[in-house]
Chains A and B, each alone.
Chain A
Amino acid sequence: MEEYRKGATGALLDEYEKALFELKSVLQTVGAGEYSQIVEGESDHCRSIQIIMNHVVRAGYGYSKYIRDALSMDVLPIEGKQIPQAEIGGELDKMFAYTAAIFEGERQIADEEMETIFFKTRWEVTYNIDQLFEHAIVHVLRHRRQIKKFLLKFQDSENQF
Chain B
Amino acid sequence: MDEYERAAIELKSIVENVGEDDYTRIVDTETKDEDCRSIQTMMNHVVHAGYGYANGIRRKFSIPHEPLGRERKQIPPSEIGDEIDKVLAYTVETLDGKWEMSYAEMEEIIIMRKENFSENIEQLLEHAIVHILRHRRQIDKFLLKFGAEN
Chain B residues closer than 8 Å to A14, beta-carbon distance: 137
- State the CA gap A15–B133 with chains docked (Å): 7
Chain A residues closer than 8 Å to B144, beta-carbon distance: 1
Chain A interface residue number, banded: 10 to 19
Q: At the interface with chain B, which of A31-39, A52-60, A133-141?
A: A133-141
Contact B137 A1 (CB under 8 A): no
- A161 located at the interface, meaning its Cβ lies under 8 Å from any Cβ of chain B in the complex: no
- State the CA gap A98–B144 with chains docked (Å): 29
Chain A residues closer than 8 Å to B148, beta-carbon distance: 1
- B2 located at the interface, meaning its Cβ lies under 8 Å from any Cβ of chain A in the complex: yes
Chain B residues closer than 8 Å to A15, beta-carbon distance: 130, 133-134, 137
- State the CA gap A12–B138 with chains docked (Å): 11
- A45 located at the interface, meaning its Cβ lies under 8 Å from any Cβ of chain B in the complex: no
Mask, B112-129, CB within 8 Å of A = 1, is 000000011001001101
- State the CA gap A127–B123 with chains docked (Å): 9
Contact A134 B2 (CB under 8 A): no
- B20 located at the interface, meaning its Cβ lies under 8 Å from any Cβ of chain A in the complex: no
Contact B129 A4 (CB under 8 A): no
- A131 located at the interface, meaning its Cβ lies under 8 Å from any Cβ of chain B in the complex: yes
- Number of residue pairs A-B, CB distance < 8 angstroms: 49
Given the contacts A1-B148, A125-B120, A138-B3, A131 and B127 also touching, CB distance less than 8 Å: yes
**Least distance between B101 CB and chain A CB atoms (Å):** 15
**Least distance between A143 CB and chain B CB atoms (Å):** 11
- State the CA gap A127–B117 with chains docked (Å): 11
Chain B residues closer than 8 Å to A12, beta-carbon distance: 130, 134
A-B contact pairs, 30 of them (CB 8 A): A1-B141, A1-B144, A1-B145, A1-B148, A4-B141, A11-B134, A11-B137, A11-B138, A15-B130, A15-B133, A18-B133, A123-B103, A123-B107, A125-B107, A125-B120, A127-B123, A131-B126, A131-B127, A134-B123, A134-B126, A134-B129, A134-B130, A135-B123, A135-B126, A137-B129, A137-B130, A138-B3, A141-B6, A141-B129, A142-B3
| Given pairs A1-B148, A4-B141, A134-B127, 17 additional interface contacts (CB within 8 A) | A1-B141, A11-B134, A12-B134, A125-B120, A125-B123, A127-B123, A134-B123, A134-B130, A135-B123, A137-B129, A137-B130, A138-B129, A138-B130, A141-B129, A142-B3, A145-B2, A145-B3
- Which residues of B does A touch, CB under 8 Å? 2-3, 6, 103, 107, 119-120, 123, 126-127, 129-130, 133-134, 137-138, 141, 144-145, 148
Would you list the 7 A-B pairs with minimal beta carbon distance, nearest first?
Answer: A134-B130, A138-B126, A141-B3, A15-B133, A134-B126, A11-B134, A135-B126
- Which residues of A does B touch, CB under 8 Å? 1, 4, 11-12, 14-15, 18, 123-125, 127, 131, 134-135, 137-138, 141-142, 145
